[in-house]
C-alpha cells in the first residue's frame, strides 16, 4: 500500500489530522526536549474506533504513539525522530464520565478525561478523587495511568496504580480487553491491568478506567516550618505518622528553591525569613465530621520544636493562607527556570534513607560541579525527593546540559545504591532509556522484553520508548 492509501484507510476508522499545522502540537510534550511530527494524528471517539484504528495501523505496519494531554516530561507521547513511520493516537475526544457510583466509591471514565474533570465529577457526588499533581488540568487520566502518575497525595492514597479498579484496553491487534470491573477483590488469574498501568502505551491503549474514590475531605490543616536538617524532617514525619496523623502531604524543600521563589515570584509571600537550610510544607486532611486536626498538629509541632526538630512554624488560618503556602511549592518549577538552566532527576528512596541519600547527593554534586546549585524539593513523605542541579545564572542551556547525562547518572546511582529508583513518578519514555539499560536488573529487563514480545510481537506500540 502507498502512504496515501494508508492514510485514507486510517481516516475511514476515525477522524484524523494530516495537515502539518494541525499535527504540529502533537509533535512535542511539555519537556520540549523531544519533537518529531507523526504521519497523522488519529482522534477516535470510542473504544471501537480505537480498535479499528489499531487494526488499520497493524495492516499498514504503522507504529502507534498513544497520547493524552502530552504533559509528560520524558518524550513518551511523541514519535521518535529516529523511529519508524508513526501516527499519534490521541484520546482527547474520549472524554465522557461514564458513571459515578457514590455508594460504591467508584467512578468510570473515558481515558481522555482530564484528571481535573475526574476530580470535579467525584466532588459533584460528594466524593474525592485523590490523584493530584501540577499538570492535572491538562493531563488525561489515560496518560496518568499509563505513566502511573504520582504527585503530592501519594503519602495517603498511593500512586495512580493504587486507584484503579478496572481497565478497558485496546490491544495491538485491535481486540478489546474488557476488564472494566469495579470489584475490590478479584483473584481470577494474572492481574493484567498492572501491565498496562505504567506500561507507557507499549502494550496497548487504555481507553477507559474504573477508579476508586475516597470520602470528601471535611477539614484540612496546612503548616509550613523551618527544620534544621532532612533527618529532623523525617523525625517529625515519624512523630506524626506514628500518632496516626492523617497526613495528605509532606513536602521537604531546600532553602535554595525558596530563595528563587522570593526572587522570581512577586506574588509569593514567605511567612518568615529564610534562615534555615530546610523547610517542610505539610498538610493533614480528614473526612470525619467534627474531627479536630488542629490540636494534634499543634501538639506535634510544639514537641518537634522542643526536640530541636523544627524552628519557626506557621499554620494556615484561612483558605487564602493555605493557598498562599501551596503557591510557594507550585510556583517553584517556574522560578527555577527563570533563574538558570538545570538538570533534573526523578529519584525515590526508602523514606528512612532520605537524609543519607540527600547528604551523599549534595557531596557528590558539589565535588564535581562546585559551581552548581542544589535544588532539592519533593514528596519526602513517600521518599520521592526531586533533585536538580542548577547552573550559575547566565549559563546557556546547551552548555549546562552537556553534562546532563553525567549529573543524572550521579544522582541515579546514589538512589539505586540506597535501594531506590531512578524514575519515581515521571516514567521512562525516551529520556531515561539509557538509565534503564545501565541501572535496571538485567533479569527484570529480560522479563519485560519477553512480555513485550508476547503482547506486541510486531513491536508497533510506542516503539523506542521505555524498554532499552
Q: Which is nearer to a copy of itself, 9 or 235 (CB)?
A: 235
Site string for a copy of itself, 198-237 (x = CB under 8 A): xx---x-----------xx-x---------------x---
Stretch that binds a copy of itself, among 37-45, 79-87, 151-159, 394-402 (CB under 8 A): 151-159
Cβ atoms of residues 167 and 206 within 8 Å: yes
For 373, the grid coordinates are 546549585
Residue 428 contacts a copy of itself per CB under 8 A = yes
Site for a copy of itself in 343-382 (CB under 8 A): 348-353, 379, 382
Residue 154 contacts a copy of itself per CB under 8 A = yes
CB of 430 to a copy of itself, least distance (A): 14
Instruction: Pick one of 45, 296, 311, 333: the residue that binds a copy of itself (CB under 8 A).
Output: 296
Residue 298 contacts a copy of itself per CB under 8 A = no
For 128, the grid coordinates are 474525592
Residue 163 contacts a copy of itself per CB under 8 A = no
Stretch that binds a copy of itself, among 58-66, 169-177, 221-229, 386-394 (CB under 8 A): 169-177
Q: Which is nearer to a copy of itself, 23 or 100 (CB)?
A: 100
Site for a copy of itself in 180-199 (CB under 8 A): 181-192, 194-195, 197-199
CB of 378 to a copy of itself, least distance (A): 10
CB of 152 to a copy of itself, least distance (A): 12
Q: Which is nearer to a copy of itself, 170 or 374 (CB)?
A: 170
Residue 294 contacts a copy of itself per CB under 8 A = no
Instruction: Pick one of 303, 436, 438, 459: the residue that binds a copy of itself (CB under 8 A).
Output: 436
CB of 312 to a copy of itself, least distance (A): 25
Q: Tell me how crowded residue 313 is: count the other CB atoms within 10 A of its CB.
A: 21
Residue 291 contacts a copy of itself per CB under 8 A = yes
Residue 174 contacts a copy of itself per CB under 8 A = no
Residue 453 contacts a copy of itself per CB under 8 A = yes
Sequence-distant (≥ 6) Cβ neighbours of residue 379 within 8 angstroms: 150, 151, 152, 154, 155, 249, 250, 251, 385
Residue 105 contacts a copy of itself per CB under 8 A = yes
**Whole-number Å distance between alpha carbons of 375 and 147:** 24
Residue 129 contacts a copy of itself per CB under 8 A = no
- CA-atom Rg of the chain in angstroms: 23
Amino acid at each position: 500500500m502507498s502512504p496515501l492509501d494508508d492514510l485514507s484507510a486510517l481516516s475511514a476508522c476515525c477522524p484524523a489530522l494530516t495537515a502539518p499545522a494541525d499535527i504540529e502540537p502533537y509533535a512535542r510534550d511539555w519537556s520540549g526536549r523531544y519533537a518529531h511530527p507523526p504521519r497523522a494524528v488519529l482522534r477516535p471517539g470510542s473504544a471501537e474506533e480505537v480498535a479499528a484504528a489499531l487494526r488499520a495501523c497493524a495492516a499498514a505496519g504503522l507504529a502507534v504513539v498513544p497520547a493524552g494531554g502530552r504533559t509528560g516530561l520524558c518524550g513518551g507521547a511523541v514519535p521518535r525522530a529516529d523511529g519508524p513511520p508513526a501516527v499519534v493516537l490521541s484520546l482527547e475526544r474520549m472524554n465522557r464520565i461514564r458513571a459515578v457510583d457514590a455508594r460504591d466509591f467508584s467512578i468510570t471514565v473515558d481515558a481522555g478525561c482530564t484528571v481535573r474533570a475526574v476530580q470535579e465529577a467525584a466532588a459533584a457526588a460528594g466524593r474525592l478523587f485523590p490523584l493530584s499533581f501540577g499538570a492535572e488540568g491538562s493531563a488525561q487520566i489515560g496518560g496518568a495511568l499509563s505513566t502511573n502518575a504520582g504527585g503530592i497525595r501519594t503519602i495517603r492514597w498511593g500512586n495512580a496504580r493504587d486507584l484503579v479498579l478496572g481497565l478497558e484496553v485496546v490491544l495491538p491487534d485491535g481486540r478489546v480487553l474488557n476488564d472494566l470491573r469495579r470489584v475490590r477483590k478479584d483473584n481470577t488469574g494474572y492481574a493484567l491491568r498492572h501491565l498496562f498501568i505504567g506500561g507507557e502505551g507499549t502494550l496497548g491503549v487504555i481507553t477507559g478506567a474504573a477508579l476508586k474514590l475516597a470520602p470528601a475531605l471535611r477539614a484540612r490543616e496546612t503548616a509550613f516550618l523551618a527544620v534544621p536538617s532532612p533527618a529532623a524532617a523525617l523525625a517529625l514525619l515519624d512523630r506524626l505518622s506514628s500518632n496516626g496523623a492523617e497526613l495528605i502531604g509532606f513536602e521537604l524543600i531546600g532553602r535554595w528553591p525558596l530563595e528563587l521563589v522570593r526572587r522570581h515570584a512577586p506574588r509569593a509571600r514567605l511567612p518568615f525569613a529564610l534562615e534555615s537550610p530546610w523547610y517542610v510544607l505539610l498538610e493533614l486532611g480528614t473526612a470525619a465530621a467534627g474531627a479536630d486536626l488542629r490540636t494534634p498538629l499543634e501538639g506535634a509541632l510544639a514537641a518537634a520544636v522542643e526536640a530541636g526538630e523544627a524552628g519557626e512554624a506557621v499554620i494556615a488560618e484561612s483558605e487564602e493562607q493555605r493557598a498562599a503556602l501551596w503557591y510557594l511549592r507550585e510556583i517553584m518549577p517556574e522560578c527555577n527556570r527563570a533563574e538558570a538552566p538545570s538538570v533534573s532527576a526523578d529519584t525515590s528512596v526508602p523514606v528512612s534513607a532520605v537524609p543519607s541519600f540527600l547528604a551523599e547527593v549534595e557531596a557528590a554534586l558539589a565535588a564535581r560541579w562546585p559551581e552548581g546549585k542544589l535544588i532539592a524539593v519533593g514528596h519526602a513523605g513517600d521518599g520521592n525527593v526531586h533533585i536538580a542541579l542548577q547552573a550559575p545564572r547566565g549559563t546557556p542551556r546547551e552548555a549546562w546540559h552537556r553534562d546532563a547525562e553525567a549529573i543524572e547518572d550521579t544522582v541515579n546511582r546514589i538512589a539505586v545504591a540506597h535501594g531506590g529508583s531512578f524514575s519515581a513518578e515521571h516514567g521512562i519514555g525516551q529520556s531515561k532509556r539509557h538509565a534503564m539499560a545501565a541501572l535496571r536488573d538485567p533479569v527484570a529487563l529480560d522479563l519485560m522484553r519477553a512480555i513485550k514480545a508476547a503482547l506486541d510481537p510486531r513491536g508497533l506500540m510506542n516503539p523506542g520508548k521505555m524498554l532499552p
